[in-house]
Structure 1
Amino acid sequence: MVEPRFLLLSDVATELNVSDSQVYHMVRSGELPAIKVGGRGQWRVERAKLEEYIQQKYTETAEWVRGNPLTE
């Protein structure tokens, strides 16, 4: 089965295990690239952009961990 190129915001929320409203905020703020399609302006996130976003978050998290080591 071929995965769709574009995802609904609810699909993105499921992938990231966050709320639909959080994904909407990420899209509206420009944090997560998305497009509006159709006459009703429905949001869609390209799967490749979601994967890039996830990789970016891994990089940002690793940098944060390096700069904020655990102290015992």
Structure 2
Amino acid sequence: MSPRFLTLSDVADTLNLSMSAARALVSSGELPAIQVGGKRVWRIEDTALEKYIEDQYAASRERIRTHAAD
């Protein structure tokens, strides 16, 4: 069973991004996350990451479709 919540490092690894890029996605609100614990570290729900990935696929398909129509 995989964990429900992921760290920023997990997200960065999954998306093949730098830690600062993963943090920027969270800070901008593009990738929903919560802060927990005494140090208020970011945690991202696994389903939120999957939805973000699905949304990025949909956006890419739309960009391709739009540019193909030009």
Query: Normalising by the residue count of structure 1, what TM-score does the alignment of the two structures yield?
Result: 0.92
Aligned partner of 1:25: which letter? A
Match of 1:12 in 2: 11
Match of 1:63 in 2: 62
> Structure 2 stretches of 5 or more lacking a match?
none
**Counterparts in 2 of 1:3-42, with a 5 A limit?**
3-42=2-41
**Counterparts in 2 of 1:45-56, with a 5 A limit?**
45-56=44-55
Identity of aligned residues (%): 49
| Superposition deviation, residue 49 in structure 1 | 0.3
| Superposition deviation, residue 68 in structure 1 | 1.0
Query: Normalising by the residue count of structure 2, what TM-score does the alignment of the two structures yield?
Result: 0.95
Which 4+ runs in 1 deviate beyond 4 A?
A: none
C-alpha RMSD of the superposition: 1.4
Name the one with the larger helix percent. Answer: 2
Aligned partner of 1:23: which letter? A
Aligned partner of 2:53: which letter? I
> Structure 1 stretches of 5 or more lacking a match?
none
Q: What is the number of equivalent residue pairs in this alignment?
A: 70
